[in-house]
Amino acid sequence: MGTELLVLGKGDNIITMVLDNLYSNGSTSKITIYNNLQLPIESYFGHDEFEIKVVENLELEDYSSYTLGVGQPIHKIKIVQLLQPDPKKFINVIHSGFDVSKTTKLGYGLLINSKVSVAAQSFIGNFVTLNRHVSIGHHTIINDFCSINPGVNIAGTVTIGEGTLIGMGTNVIQGVKIGKNTIIGAGSVVTKNIPDNVVAYGSPCKIIRDNI
């Protein structure tokens, strides 16, 4: 069995995050990127300290550790459903600048960038992406496959449903519940509950259409 890290999916910006987070913790591993969704290469994601190869065919069992290399919830869910990888092999790729309460519970397969803060008694589910400068308040629940973009402020006792994406610079007011498979547009101010399967944005945030 190999020892190098297998990245499932190739989103250029997310690969850059993965490499930077690993390097912040002193890792210089060999990296194999499995581009099973055949996403195009749009920008440079290399790193001088890593040996990187991109492949479109492989055996998952040949690798000892996995992480996801895509940020869109729909892509993350698709990869896990299609490949059915062993969840025990997923590592958390967390930047050394992550500030988290010891009372917060973290899932597996996480990608957490620099300058992220998570307060006490919160829960971060599996395959969650937290981008830079995200702030999460106390007793907040972020469910599986969510992606939280840069500069988002989430107050205390908020619940975010599975597979939801929160756009850059959004503010979520205390106690709000956001449903699953929902998209909150960038710069929104979420002051009341938002249901499942919708696209919503604005200040205050309003439902615009179904997310299908």
- Residues taking part in catalysis: 139
Q: Which of 186, 192, 193 is nearest to 166 (CA)?
A: 186
Q: Quick check: helix, strand or coil at residue 13?
A: helix
String of b and e for 86-102 (b: at least 16 CB within 10 Å)? eeebbebbbbeebebee
State how far the Cα of 109 lies from the Cα of 200, in Å rounded to an integer: 27
User: In angstroms, how far is CA 37 from the centroid of its own chain?
Assistant: 17
Sign of CA dihedral 198, 106, 134, 31: negative
